[in-house]
Structure 1
Amino acid sequence: MAKASKALTKNANKPSDLLQICKERFEANLIRHPNLSWDQIVTCLEKNPKKKKALAWMEETGGEPDVVLMQGIAQSICFVDCSLETPVGRRSLCYDDEALHSRKENKPKGSAKGMIKSLDLHLLSEVEYRHLQTIGSFDTKTSSWIETPLAIRTLGGALFCDRRYNTVFSYHNGAESYYAVRGFRTLLKLSES
């Protein structure tokens, strides 16, 4: 499956290929989006080309995005990175650009928030991350930065999550830290249902 996924990702540069890749993933994982049709998703994407650009970026960086119904105040139809481990093209990054600029030595190649600031994406919140874990087992060998409350970030910290021992854990680290097995997952909201 990993080889097929890499081959699909290489072909995601064309919009038609991207939609075909996402359609195949959608149909192979119906448990993630019960009662939704692929036609509904395409209609949402066609209304906003910026969302298609963000979706292409999610695919190109190894996120294997799929449609997930996220629970909250209202139920939202979203594309979420569903790669089993944190996306390969988004690892070894500190939390945000402020943390990146504060490092004096051994700077990483960038920051999680910096990579997505021009896209219609956001990091998963802890609630969204935990919801994702109800439909599969993700980050069993890696970890993912999550949206960090301002009170924690102001003091220099940032949050990340992973799944170990069949349990989802939330941790803290300095926002300027980075690791080869830590990346981030994103969410692209399509609509409220």
Structure 2
Amino acid sequence: MTDTNEINSNKELSIEQRDKLLRTLKDRFEKNMNRHNNLEWNKVQVRLEANPEKLWSLNEMERTGGEPDAVGYDKESNKYIFFDCSAESPKGRRSICYDREAMNFRKEHKPENNAMDMASDMGIELLTEEQYRELQKLGKFDMKTSSWVKTPEKIRKLGGAIFCDRRYDTVFVYHNGAESYYGARGFRGVLRA
């Protein structure tokens, strides 16, 4: 089974791009210490520098407006966890349906892309509903937008997909036809490095 976070080694950043991204990530890390109480930036940076393909994926998250940040460390897999932490669903990933099957289902007015393919191309995965709820414990996200989340197979087989947002100081989970897309709906990703 292929890990969706494994991508081609030719997807590497230039030294300038790498240095700029690491500065951006460090600044964000230091400004949002509530997101990673027990993490040390120096250890995170060493891990990232040793994994150029993960840096490339983080750069894709950044380039599309996700504002990725380290939000945890998984002892079992020995990996740091990054979530998109932009206030609203990333601008560069909106107006997309859920997956390729849904995109192909549309007869007209097809979106330019879909969440599952975009995430795969970026070397990341969509947040699950549980991860989305964890993100919301770190701040208030998607107050005006919504984000597709990884949909259980049972729902997807019936043509649906789920998305989340935050309204009235509450996290809501909704459903829609997987082929639907809206200007205010994108997706948030997770990367393990």
TM-score (norm 1): 0.87
Query: Are 2:97 and 1:90 equivalent residues in the alignment?
Result: no
Corresponding letter in the other structure for 2:72: L
Deviating beyond 2 angstroms after TM superposition, the runs of 4 or more aligned structure 1 residues are: 70-77
Query: Are 2:189 and 1:174 equivalent residues in the alignment?
Result: no
1:58 aligned to which of 61, 65, 83: 61
Unaligned runs of 5+ residues in structure 1 are: 1-12
Corresponding letter in the other structure for 1:178: Y
Corresponding letter in the other structure for 2:151: T
* Distance in 2 between residues matched to 1:47 and 1:71, nearest whole Å: 18
* Distance in 2 between residues matched to 1:93 and 1:83, nearest whole Å: 18
Unaligned runs of 5+ residues in structure 2 are: 1-15
- After the TM superposition, which residues 150-189 of structure 1 pair with which residues of structure 2 at under 5 Å, given as runs? 150-189=153-192
* Counterparts in 2 of 1:118 and 1:143: CA distance versus 1, 3 Å: same
* Counterparts in 2 of 1:72 and 1:168: CA distance versus 1, 3 Å: farther
Would you say the 8 A contact 1:102–1:176 is kept in 2? yes
Which position in structure 1 is the counterpart of 2:22?
19
Q: What SS does the aligned partner of 2:87 have?
A: coil
Would you say the 8 A contact 2:61–2:122 is kept in 1? no
Would you say the 8 A contact 2:165–2:173 is kept in 1? yes
Would you say the 8 A contact 1:100–1:107 is kept in 2? yes
Give, in angstroms, the shift of residue 47 of structure 1: 2.4
Corresponding letter in the other structure for 1:136: G
* Distance in 1 between residues matched to 2:74 and 2:87, nearest whole Å: 21
Q: What SS does the aligned partner of 1:161 have?
A: strand
Which position in structure 2 is the counterpart of 1:79?
82
Give, in angstroms, the shift of residue 172 of structure 1: 0.4
Query: Are 2:50 and 1:47 equivalent residues in the alignment?
Result: yes
- The alignment covers a number of residue pairs equal to 178
* Counterparts in 2 of 1:83 and 1:110: CA distance versus 1, 3 Å: same
2:143 aligned to which of 140, 145, 159: 140
Give, in angstroms, the shift of residue 78 of structure 1: 1.0
* Distance in 2 between residues matched to 1:184 and 1:120, nearest whole Å: 14
Give, in angstroms, the shift of residue 175 of structure 1: 0.3
Give, in angstroms, the shift of residue 82 of structure 1: 0.4
Give, in angstroms, the shift of residue 75 of structure 1: 9.0
Give, in angstroms, the shift of residue 110 of structure 1: 0.6
Give, in angstroms, the shift of residue 70 of structure 1: 6.8
Taking only the aligned residue pairs, the percentage that are identical comes to 53
CA deviations over 1:27-58 (Å, ceiling 9, x no partner): 00001001211111112212221111100000
* Counterparts in 2 of 1:75 and 1:15: CA distance versus 1, 3 Å: closer
Which position in structure 2 is the counterpart of 1:3?
none
